[in-house]
Amino acid sequence: MHIPDGFINPEIAIVMFIVAIGFLVLAWKKVRQTYSSSFASVIGISSAFIFAAQMINYPIALGTSGHLVGGTFLAVLLGPWAGMLSMTIVLLMQALFFADGGLMAFGANAFNMAIIGALSFYVVKYMNRNPNSIKSFASSVFAASWLSVVVGAIACAVQIGLSSMFANAGGIVVTIPAMLSWHIIIGIGEGAITMSLLVALKRLNPSVIGGLLMLKAKKVQP
């Protein structure tokens, strides 16, 4: 879902930069307020793993592949704001060093994957009403990660659909269904992988799921 340079118009790229920077400043402030620097190793290792995991494309159908984005994974593990920052670092390194995702399109890519991915945390928060049930946790994580990919793909479809490169092809009326048709399938992969990883981690050591700890701490002190 990484948009290369040239796919979106400069004015759309600029708007997406402004929106992304707004969210990232907020995330930066939240992390500053609530995290101790002893979190550095957990956040660092999880982002490093997501970078590696994003390199592995899995085939879906008809000569198309997808790969894990990991936005929901990081958000549930680290909390939404730290997850947003760590995913942004992954995307920034991909753009700077590997030309995976354009530099001009960076704001759009950060919005579609890091910000939407991190906000999917609130889907888990809303759906996971029974914190002691693994089933409830697993299904809410699956739904949140599937949604994060599908909503990200719609955002991407709107950005490219409004741009001149895709104007001849028909614009958003064409790009939205086209992007959706692949990403509702890719999202199932995202959901399955994220769910397996987080359920395994939760079974192994429930306290590593920092994002959920954060939720519980908030509920205790209104």
Partner 1 sequence: MKKYLIALGLIALFLVVFIPFASNEPDGLEKVAENLGVEEHEPAWKGLMHDYSTGLVEDPFLSTLLAGIFGTVLVLIVTIVLVKVTAKKPSASKTVLKES
**Interaction with partner 1 in 18-77: which residues (CB under 8 A)?**
28, 31-45, 47-53, 55-59, 63-67
Residue-wise burial string across 82-92, b where 16 or more C-beta atoms lie within 10 A, e elsewhere: bbbbbbbbbbb
Q: How far is the CB of 136 from partner 1 (least distance, A)?
A: 22
17 forms part of the interface with partner 1 (CB under 8 A): no
Q: Provide the 3-class DSSP secondary structure of residue 17.
A: helix
Nearer to partner 1, 38 or 135 (CB): 38
Q: What tokens does 14 get?
A: 């600029």
Q: Which of 178, 188, 192, 201 binds partner 1 (CB under 8 A)?
A: 178
95 forms part of the interface with partner 1 (CB under 8 A): yes
Nearer to partner 1, 47 or 139 (CB): 47
Q: How far is the CB of 199 from partner 1 (least distance, A)?
A: 18
Report whether 66 contacts 57 (CB < 8 A): yes
Q: How far is the CB of 140 from partner 1 (least distance, A)?
A: 22
Site string for partner 1, 137-176 (x = CB under 8 A): ----------------x--xx--x----xx-xxx---xx-
For the residues of 42-110, what is the DSSP string, one character each? HHHHHHHHHHHHHT-EEEEETTEEEE---HHHHHHHH-HHHHHHHHHHHHHHHHHHH--S-STTHHHHI
Report whether 3 contacts 102 (CB < 8 A): yes
Nearer to partner 1, 139 or 190 (CB): 190
- Measured distance CA(40)–CA(137) in Å, rounded: 26
Q: How far is the CB of 128 from partner 1 (least distance, A)?
A: 19
